[in-house]
A and B are shown apart, each in its own frame.
Chain A
Amino acid sequence: MLRESAISFGYDLDLATVGDPAIPTAIPGGNALLDLVDVALGKSDKPLLDAQQAIINTLGPEALVDAAAVLGNFEMMNRVAEGTGIPIPQQSIDRESEIVAALGLLDLIKG
């Protein structure tokens, strides 16, 4: 869905950026959003205040709230998926084949 939505907005997205936030996303504020996720989930030592301010400066205060809510939603969905063991539908794998290949996610799906 990331690919489809990026196309809808005319962004020339490189999907590899999801796995490597150092790659420019070509999405407005995209790298700041990736930084914020990494800081919030303990994958980056950058100060949270800096990551928050980057979002506020580039996308506005409402964007920071949206980012917090979306991150929370996927913290939730990931746990329901892991806890219930719901299988990933083949059509989802097919639809996301590009990102699966770009990020090397086949092991994740099989696991």
Chain B
Amino acid sequence: MFDFARSPVPVRDNLKRAYRNIWAHLAQPGPVLDASHRKVLLDAARTGRSDETPPTGIAPPALELLATTLYTNPAAVSETTVRDAADEASDAAVAETVGLVAMLSAVDGAHRVLGVELEALPNPAPGSPTGRIAQGLKRRRTHIPMPSGAIPRALDLVPEVATVWRNSFGAQYMTESEMALHDFRRVPGLDRAQMELVSSRTSLINECFY
């Protein structure tokens, strides 16, 4: 898994580890969704959905629509898309789905840049959802409840998902301490200005300020 044997260039080990950690998480039951439902949603996201493609009938339809829209066209996700999914499934199910689809998009995006086949989704592990959902959070002019603060806190409603997500930042982009350095340079590799050029163009194409 994630050996990148067909990659045109060798892939560094810490990035492989980050992707394997994400995959290990995808295979487990989450706070709200069991592992089978997670896989259904992620399969649907990768497949995409149009008016001609009926929902799977396994996952809640509005949650599945959120997953597929978020994966294929994030700018098309509206507050209504999210609220409909939350009304149908719960805020925590939405937070979990957003985290899973976002991490899948990261891994798949890197594979597309390298021109290698997408990694097959992991087989779902048995077990019930963990039920670990943070209490006492509020909507702060946001679609889902979250603490105040910057984007790394956005998924704190589902702490186990948020932890895996945050732990992936360092290998993919920069660690928190590296982010404090405007002149950070990965040696060998890109300097921070080159990295920010990639991130800015990516966000612009996705029509997202972040």
Chain B residues within 8 Å of chain A by Cβ, number: 76
In the complex, residue of chain B having the shortest beta-carbon distance to the beta carbon of A2: B196
Residue pair A67, B190 in contact (C-beta under 8 Å):
yes
Main secondary structure of the interface of B (DSSP, over half): helix
Given A37-B198, A72-B172, verify A85-B142 contact (CB < 8 Å): yes
Given A1-B196, A5-B182, verify A86-B102 contact (CB < 8 Å): no
A1-36 toward B: CB 8 Å interface, digit per residue (1/0)? 110111111010100011101000101111001101
- A-B pair count, CB < 8 Å, reads 248
The minimal Cβ–Cβ distance linking A74 to chain B, given in whole angstroms, is: 4
Q: Is there a chain B Cβ closer than 8 Å to A54's Cβ? A: no
Q: How far is the CA of A89 from the CA of B169 in the complex (A)?
A: 20
> Given known contacts A86-B154, A108-B209, what 5 new A-B pairs fall within 8 Å (CB)?
A66-B195, A68-B109, A68-B110, A71-B199, A84-B82
Residue pair B115, A52 in contact (C-beta under 8 Å):
yes
Q: Is there a chain B Cβ closer than 8 Å to A103's Cβ? A: yes
Q: For residue A29, which residues in chain B have a CB less than 8 angstroms away from its CB?
A: 194
Q: How far is the CA of A105 from the CA of B204 in the complex (A)?
A: 9
Q: Is there a chain A Cβ closer than 8 Å to B203's Cβ? A: yes
| Chain A residues proximal to chain B, CB less than 8 Å | 1-2, 4-9, 11, 13, 17-19, 21, 25, 27-30, 33-34, 36-38, 40-41, 43, 48-49, 52, 56, 59-89, 99, 103, 105, 108-109
Residue pair A9, B183 in contact (C-beta under 8 Å):
yes
Main secondary structure of the interface of A (DSSP, over half): helix
Residue pair B98, A9 in contact (C-beta under 8 Å):
no
Residue pair B198, A79 in contact (C-beta under 8 Å):
no
Within 8 A of A (CB), among B140-170: 140-144, 146, 150-151, 154-155, 165, 168-169
A-B contact pairs, 18 of them (CB 8 A): A5-B192, A17-B197, A27-B193, A33-B194, A37-B201, A40-B112, A48-B115, A49-B115, A61-B8, A61-B9, A64-B9, A67-B113, A68-B109, A68-B114, A72-B108, A74-B210, A77-B203, A88-B210
Q: For residue A63, which residues in chain B have a CB less than 8 angstroms away from its CB?
A: 188-190, 194
Q: For residue B203, which residues in chain A have a CB less than 8 angstroms away from its CB?
A: 74, 77-78
Residue pair B102, A76 in contact (C-beta under 8 Å):
yes
Residue pair B192, A108 in contact (C-beta under 8 Å):
no
Residue pair B106, A64 in contact (C-beta under 8 Å):
no
Q: For residue A73, which residues in chain B have a CB less than 8 angstroms away from its CB?
A: 106, 168-169, 172-173, 199
Residue pair A81, B110 in contact (C-beta under 8 Å):
no
Q: How far is the CA of A71 from the CA of B190 in the complex (A)?
A: 13
Q: Is there a chain A Cβ closer than 8 Å to B117's Cβ? A: no
Identify which of B34-42, B50-58, B70-78, B122-130 touches chain A: B70-78
Within 8 A of A (CB), among B23-81: 66, 70-71, 74-75, 77, 79
Residue pair B205, A81 in contact (C-beta under 8 Å):
no
Residue pair B98, A80 in contact (C-beta under 8 Å):
yes
